[in-house]
Amino acid sequence: MKDIRIGIIGFGTVGSGLAKTLYEQKDRLRQKTGANLTLARVADISITSLPKEYSDVVLSNDANDIFNDPEIDIVVELIGGMEPARTFMLTAIAKGKHVVTANKALLSIHGKEIFDAAVKNNVEVGYEASVGGGIPIIKALKEGLVANRINYIKGIMNGTANYILSQMTDRGLPFAEVLKKAQELGFAEADPTYDVEGIDTAHKLAILMTIAYGLDVRLDDINVEGISSIEPIDIEYARKFGYRIKLLAISRNHGDNIEARVHPTMVPENHMLASINGAFNGILINGDTVGDVLLYGAGAGMMPTGSAVAADVVDISRNILAGAINRVPALSYLPEHIGKPRITPMTDLVCPFYFRVTALDKPGVLSIITGIFGKHGISIRSMIQPGQDAGEPVHIVFRTHRAAEAAVKNAIKEIDALEICSAPTVKIRILNPE
Q: Is 285 found in the same domain as 160?
A: yes
Please, what sign has the CA dihedral across residues 179, 181, 187, 191?
positive
Distances (CA, A) of 298 to 187, 200, 282, 295: 12, 16, 9, 10
Per this entry, what is the length of the chain? 434
Please check whether residues 92 and 20 belong to one and the same domain: yes
Q: Are residues 185 and 217 in the same domain?
A: yes
CATH of the domain at 258: 3.30.360.10
Residue 58 and residue 194 in one domain: no
Q: Are 355 and 427 in contact (CB under 8 A)?
A: yes
With cut-offs at 50, 70 and 90, classify the pLDDT of residue 434.
confident
Q: Are 238 and 245 in contact (CB under 8 A)?
A: yes
User: Cα–Cα distance between 278 and 298 in angstroms, integer?
Assistant: 10
pLDDT digits (tens, 9 = 90+) for 68-114: 999 999 999 999 999 999 999 999 999 999 999 999 999 999 999 99
- In a domain? residue 319: yes
Is the residue at 338 inside a domain?
no
Residue 370 lies in a domain: yes
Residues 247 and 196 in one domain: yes
Taking only the tens place, the pLDDT of each residue in 149-176 is 999 999 999 999 999 999 999 999 999 9
How many structural domains compose the chain? 3
**Does some domain include residue 111?**
yes
141 and 118 co-located in one domain: no
Tens digits of residue pLDDT in 235-256: 999 999 999 999 999 999 999 9
Annotated binding-site positions for NADP(+)? 9-16
Active site annotation includes 240: no
Task: Give burial (CB, 10 Å; 0-12/13-18/19+) of 391.
Answer: exposed
Sequence ranges of the binding site for L-homoserine: 189
Split at pLDDT 50, 70, 90, the class of 361 is confident
pLDDT at 299: 87
Q: Is the pLDDT of residue 192 over 60?
A: yes
Q: With 80 as the cut, is the pLDDT of residue 412 above it?
A: yes
pLDDT on residue 391: 57
Question: 206 and 272 share a domain?
Answer: yes
Q: Are 107 and 101 in contact (CB under 8 A)?
A: yes
- What pLDDT is stored for residue 59 in this prediction? 97
Over the stretch 306-354, which tens digit does the pLDDT of each residue have?
999 999 999 999 999 999 999 999 999 999 999 999 999 999 999 999 9
- What is the pLDDT averaged over residues 213-222? 96
Does residue 316 fall inside a structural domain?
yes
pLDDT of residue 143: 97
Look at residue 335 and tell me if it is in a domain.
Answer: no
Q: How far is Cα 409 from Cα 425, in angstroms, rounded to an integer?
A: 11
Q: Among 140-149, 185-194, 375-384, where is mean pLDDT lowest?
A: 185-194
pLDDT tens for each residue of 30-72:
999 999 999 999 999 999 999 999 999 999 999 999 999 999 9
Shared domain for 146 and 288, answered yes or no, is: yes
Contact 264, 225 (CB under 8 A): yes
pLDDT of residue 433: 84
Q: Which residues does the annotation place in the binding site for NADPH?
A: 104
218 & 244 share domain? yes
Residue 212 pLDDT > 90: yes
Per-residue pLDDT tens over the stretch 253-271 = 999 999 999 999 999 999 9
Are both 159 and 294 inside the same structural domain? yes
**Mean pLDDT for the chain overall:** 95
Whether 190 is in a domain gets the answer yes
For the cut 90, the answer to whether the pLDDT of residue 403 exceeds it is: yes
CATH number at residue 111: 3.40.50.720
Domain that holds residue 183: 137-298
Q: What is the mean pLDDT of residues 138-156?
A: 97
Residue-wise pLDDT for 379-394, tens only, equals: 999 999 876 655 568 8
Q: Residue 292: which of 151, 132, 128 has the closest Cα? A: 151
267 and 307 share one domain: no
- Judge whether residue 210 has pLDDT over 80: yes
User: Are residues 84 and 193 part of one domain?
Assistant: no
Q: pLDDT over 90 for what percent of the chain?
A: 91
Domain for residue 171, yes or no? Answer: yes
pLDDT digits (tens, 9 = 90+) for 275-284: 999 999 999 9
**CATH number, domain with residue 412:** 3.30.70.260
Q: What's the confidence (pLDDT) of residue 411?
A: 97
Catalytic residue among 154, 204, 246, 427: 204
